[in-house]
Chains A and B, each alone.
Chain A
């Protein structure tokens, strides 16, 4: 018999609305799109036997929309839905508060709807709770593109103990940037740029790029990590990352999709492999540091920072692997299967998230 399962749900109401709708061709994931994704997720979670869902509260209409739909007959298969009783600040703090609450409540898994920036907020907060990420942002290297219904099933199978979490999850890498007094972390990429503007956060002017550090770099990625993906791909589970020094004068040119609809030719001076646990000293002479594609901190004065790659990110659920394991656990009577059956237990194992660059 399955255990009683509780799942936390985070949906960032602000994702997918920054200036990259204008300066690039960033897609719009509307509030109603996000609510619809949550509906599909709830169907999957309910179908897999999850008893309770604890959702973040927000003032962006996502929680309110979901609450309204949860009372309808069409939601009869959903888990019981609760919302975190939290003060809404309209800032990333709302996500952090919600995750802390979920961790305290001991949820079995957390599902995140957002982009790389939303997922970054879980670093150090989600502990050993497995996290499944669904893309609803602009540049999404970290979240998966899986259908939310399927993610709901996979998370449900994990939360109810029907698949072994050790066999379908892995610990994400992080990049830590420290200037001695403060430190901050990124989940996919960290960049140093010229200038002193943070403003909208988004990056589209690559002429100001100086250094890019990457946790992983998939060849099919969008965003800054695509630069590494085009040069020297690194898997999510490799014990190393990359440091790329950008130089507009370099003859070494790389064509990279740095945002949706924005392909840029970038001059690269060096590419170095960064091993996990090793720190690198970097001179930041009056520049800006960007975390996961968003300008976040400025350094008006020259200073030195330390960048290190660590194996201390959130535990990530590999949805494809979880579904594969669930399929292997199915008991289908063989005499019902014809030779050309599409029974999932008969399909060939495929590459799993983070294990292949395909």
Chain B
């Protein structure tokens, strides 16, 4: 299994959080009227991943060049942790020509072929795609793996069950990562799901299913490492469900009136919790916390500056890269 590098995981979580915090700020800065999601420099809906960093960081710490990820509509944490270029990703979110998809995709459609990263706004859409990627790795004889990320609500889609079935039948090197953040938009699991753990559902397909409690990045690191090693060794698919935290709304602008546990949400933030644990171990000093934050601030500011200063696509560009 990959060596545990606590400081690197902490740095990555802070980097992702700073990214999401600044995107939130920028998204609302010039959105007028506030309800018009098409207004402002960042057009479209925005789903930020604050609080869910342990899922991405624990998994991606084990991935290597050539491994693939398919992420859902809330993709930034997995994109950044998997090595997608922050400048190109930000430019895509701003709809600029220098973006990953030349500004045609936006924040829910980040495609980075070099890093085998993609995401989609269609719920559970990435799961069958990951099975396809895993099949390709298997047939090419590589030890690469595919990671399919979805929320707990997505696991009620047929594509989830079809993918688990196919992965089990073909013994594919795929890891299904379910981020259970308690809310499918505004619907709690209890109102939508028979059998509340997707780790349980995996066992119905003969796939080992693990649930990581407490949004614990090291527990996620350990479970993901075991699952990825298993897949690389040709032992087949695994499913890991992490009980994570949606720190903010489903989308930017979500008042979250439906959310009864909102009062305690900040107390459950995994980043200060991890920092405290590293300080107790003697692995992190106050100076390092400040330095890591400053590094993240600078990198994110530079990416936003890059995006804002990049050209917008021309009207003629709309005719390029289309299939019909």
- Chain A positions within 8 Å of B, measured between CB atoms, are 13-14, 17-19, 21-23, 28, 30-32, 59-61, 64, 90-91, 196-201, 298, 300
Contacts and interface: CB of A to CB of B under 8 A. Distances in A.
Contact of B227 (A22, A30, A64, A199): A22
A200 B221 CA distance: 9
Contacts of B4: 197
8 contacts: A17-B211, A28-B200, A30-B203, A61-B190, A197-B4, A197-B222, A199-B221, A200-B219
Contact of A90 (B195, B213, B282): B213
A201 B226 CA distance: 14
Contact of A60 (B197, B226, B280): B197
B208 A197 contact: no
Contacts of B212: 200
Interface string B189-227: 010000111011011000011111110101101110011
B84 to A, nearest CB: 27
B250 interface: no
B243 interface: yes
B281 interface: yes
Contacts of B196: 13, 31, 60-61
Nearest to A33: B200
B214 A91 contact: yes
Contact of B219 (A13, A61, A199): A199
Interface residues of B, number: 30
B116 interface: no
Contacts of B199: 17, 21, 28
Contacts of B213: 14, 90-91
B238 interface: yes
Nearest to B190: A64
Contacts of B218: 197-199
B211 A28 contact: no
Contacts of A18: 210-211
B230 interface: yes
Contacts of A200: 212, 219, 222-223
A90 to B, nearest CB: 7
A300 B281 contact: yes
Contacts of B282: 300
A19 B200 contact: no
Given A17-B209, A17-B211, A19-B210, 18 more contacts: A13-B197, A14-B213, A18-B210, A19-B226, A21-B208, A28-B199, A31-B195, A31-B196, A31-B197, A61-B195, A64-B190, A90-B213, A91-B214, A199-B218, A199-B222, A200-B212, A201-B219, A300-B281
A59 B243 CA distance: 12
A31 B208 CA distance: 15
Contacts of A199: 216, 218-219, 221-222
B305 to A, nearest CB: 38
B210 A30 contact: no
B228 to A, nearest CB: 10
Closest 8 interchain pairs by CB? A28-B203, A61-B196, A30-B200, A21-B208, A17-B211, A199-B222, A199-B218, A22-B226
A298 B199 CA distance: 28
Interface string B1-14: 00010000000000
